[in-house]
Structure 1
Amino acid sequence: MSIVWTVLIGFVAGLIARAIKPGDDSMGIIMTTVVGVLGALAATYIGQALGWYTAGQGAGFIASVVGAIVLLIIWGLVTKKKA
């Protein structure tokens, strides 16, 4: 059941991150969910590395959204079309 919650929270975090970050992010619902879940995982890993979270404790929702925003910025830099 925790995987379902992770995907659900990642989807919501991805949607909020896309709404907050300016610019055109033309990606579908599946990519939004993937970016949100990866943002949550990245925030958890970085938080544990810095001592903010303990092992087994997930990142907070705000940290998940911030992680998703960072991934969206990186995604935009990687997929930027060259003129």
Structure 2
Amino acid sequence: MHWLWVFIVGLVVGILAKLISPGKDPGGFIITGLLGIAGSFVATYVGERLHLWGPTGGAHFLASIGGAVILLAVYHWLFGRNNEG
């Protein structure tokens, strides 16, 4: 049940990450949602393994947003279109 919650929060995190990230993103809603889910999973897994937080808490949400923003920036860097001549 814990990982299902991480998945659901990841969708919300993806939307928030897209709002926070500057510039136009090459991906749509589905890509952003998947990046949010991935950021949430990575932040939860790493944070719990490093004993930064327990199984629940607000730190998960903030770390998930940070992870999703980082993944979104990497995605934008890899797949963004450069329209400069």
- Report if TM-score (shorter chain) is over 0.5: yes
- Which whole-Å deviations, capped at 9, do the CAs of 1:17-39 have from their partners, x for residues lacking one? 10011010132222121111100
Q: Is residue 48 from structure 1 mapped to residue 48 from structure 2 by the alignment?
A: yes
**Structure 2: tracts of 5 or more residues without a match:** none
Question: How far did residue 53 of structure 1 move?
Answer: 2.9
Q: Is residue 18 from structure 1 mapped to residue 31 from structure 2 by the alignment?
A: no
Question: How far did residue 44 of structure 1 move?
Answer: 1.5
Q: Tell me the secondary structure at the aligned position of residue 26 of structure 1.
A: coil
Specify whether residues 26 and 77 from structure 1 end up closer, same or farther in structure 2 by C-alpha distance, changes over 3 A only: closer
**Structure 1: tracts of 5 or more residues without a match:** none
Residue matched to 1:27: 27
Please provide the CA RMSD for this pair: 2.2
Q: Is the 8 A contact 1:7 1:33 kept in 2?
A: no
Question: How far did residue 46 of structure 1 move?
Answer: 2.3
Residue matched to 1:5: 5
Residue identity over aligned pairs, in percent, reads: 35
The count of corresponding residues between Structure 1 and Structure 2 is 81
Query: After TM superposition, which residue ranges in structure 1, 4 or more long, deviate above 6 angstroms?
Result: none
Specify the code of the residue in structure 1 equivalent to 2:66: V
Q: Is the 8 A contact 2:14 2:35 kept in 1?
A: yes
